[in-house]
A and B are shown apart, each in its own frame.
Chain A
């Protein structure tokens, strides 16, 4: 029974989605939009689950002193710092006691982590400390009027701290990760492009032409540019279309299998 209900739901909603594609009427649209709203709602609840999972894995790492456990503190600090920054904004020019507040909140979280790990007497000590920092942060939050908390408006997005963390920490880190790709592509290309047989030779020649397409130091550069455009528009297009058609049919077949309950792998029934 526990498994029959999900299959019934999949069948009903899967079938409705097909039905909705052919029925433009407002009432079918209304149901469709209603369902889309539900995806959003479920997604947001799942995000909470996700954060809970991240929290648990990080705490587990810290408590069991797994390799590189120190970074888990950085993960959790980043998570909470950005949440705090996103929901607060300063009212005037000065930040007032904002930073002591942020530190106090982070200390509450650290004390809570310690509480989970600690045993006996020290557990009470950490709970006490967590409470103390909580009271400090509430007091600062209540009496300091130079900044305020914004939950329902986007005021917090104008917080310069949020923007600065984004611009000066997140952007450089992510750009660095992406630029690693250039090195990996170079080494992968070196290993992969070997003229082992005829097909591999054709691939190699095509790749060289595309890579040389804007190298104007070579004689006949214009020719390379035009040839690479042709390579992209004709042979590449043809091969891509073939794969796309295959994938398209595969998608329809899998969707059909899921709707008809033939494929139940996503429910743990392989």
Chain B
């Protein structure tokens, strides 16, 4: 049986490596034309507000010129023009003046004269900005065509995205009438063909990103599942969860430290407070700290991030309070070391070898330091429990630690520790969501193999 498995695996290896065929990309060379006749202009030219964005952007679509890739094959690129009123130039002048003042400020320091000058320039700038919509309405008077971008031949669309910052040189105002045209340009840039002018077109921001509907559906579904199972658990339904040895080991490890009279070292990893792994780690720390307070063992929590330190201090303090021993809490239990990865490792390793903690607990986000920490801990003879969602570091922890929580098990740890129905309920919801993902993935796999992409398209999310 075992031999069979190995043979199958080796066969897969052989097949797999031969299945890797290299594909060659073919470069398309556009042929040069000696005597250039004007090309045909682009057709079906359209401009519209870019959908699902914050505004300040216009999307242009067109059909290729008849001489692009066919006909005379003379089109080299398309140049996109927008009509701008002369007022835009005065904005540029004002902006330049503002930049000069800024540069002067850097050189001379913040002088009063410069500040005053800046203020008056800004005032003038804003006054001109207000005139912009009406100046655009005056098309085609008092303005000129300005190139806003170019794309190589064969391209059928262009997004004219501007900045939303009023003082930026690329500011593109919302709710203003714009006029566009596209030129098909040949090798000789004077030989070109302009499209019909399209306009007026306005850009504006949208209130709902329709490209993200699949995410919305998933969020609603998942929230519903969570609330449903939490309610079910509240009403006394018995929910089975698989035991996790890593979590059960935490209690024993604290007991061991108490017996040996040595401290417990708790490492929150390199994550920030916004990392879910760190948030999950806080829950475990809270539990550990409470037990440590009860047993009157020493706890050491060196941290990497100052915000994490502040939160961890609060967590440990509350845990001591809950355990009824607020006086035993020491402010330096949780302390900051450094925000340099390996300097932090050096400090923690130093603590390990000096204090010889009975137990090391690593929960959170870890990178290259994981193995250095865990091997040093093993050298110091500590019992080690680890948990991380960093896939690359999981193998290192498995090798060097006694117990390891893999990926999501870390998030689930709080539910295991508390055994509260509320938290167990959310764990069940997660399981059902996973089952749903598996079913959908299998359906998607089958559909894709038959070439029916409509199903997988349902899950596409816009940026």
Contact = CB atoms under 8 A, between A and B. Distances in A.
Interface stretch (B68-76, B90-98, B179-187, B307-315): B307-315
B9 interface: yes
B106 interface: yes
Contacts of B346: 177
B276 A50 contact: no
A54 B305 CA distance: 12
B407 A49 contact: no
Interface residues of A, number: 78
B335 A184 contact: no
27 contacts: A18-B219, A24-B209, A46-B310, A49-B306, A49-B309, A50-B306, A56-B332, A57-B332, A67-B354, A173-B342, A174-B343, A184-B371, A188-B371, A230-B19, A246-B407, A250-B412, A253-B426, A253-B429, A254-B280, A257-B426, A263-B423, A265-B279, A265-B283, A265-B284, A268-B315, A270-B287, A270-B322
B209 A23 contact: yes
A192 B306 contact: no
Interface residues of B, number: 103
B43 to A, nearest CB: 31
A50 B336 contact: yes
B408 interface: yes
Contacts of B276: 250-251, 254-255
Interface of A: 18, 21-27, 29, 42-43, 46-51, 53-54, 56-57, 60, 67-68, 71, 152-153, 173-174, 177-178, 180-181, 184-185, 187-188, 191-192, 197-198, 201-202, 205, 209, 223, 226-227, 229-231, 233-234, 240, 243-247, 249-258, 260, 262-263, 265-270
Contacts of A250: 276, 389, 407-408, 410-412, 430
Contact of A270 (B52, B55, B219, B283): B283
A180 B337 CA distance: 20
Interface string B296-319: 000000010111011100111111
A106 B423 CA distance: 53
A25 B399 CA distance: 49
A67 B206 CA distance: 62
A256 B371 contact: no
Contacts, number: 240
Contacts of B430: 249-250, 253
Most buried by A among B6, B283, B399, B430: B283
Most buried by A among B6, B19, B164, B389: B389
Interface stretch (B113-121, B126-134, B191-199, B222-230): B222-230
Given A46-B309, A249-B430, 20 more contacts: A18-B219, A21-B209, A24-B53, A43-B307, A46-B306, A48-B306, A60-B332, A68-B354, A174-B340, A184-B375, A188-B400, A226-B18, A227-B17, A243-B406, A246-B434, A247-B408, A251-B389, A251-B411, A262-B422, A270-B319
Contact of A25 (B54, B230, B337, B423): B54
A233 to B, nearest CB: 8
B237 interface: no
Given A51-B336, A188-B371, A227-B13, A22 B322 contact: no
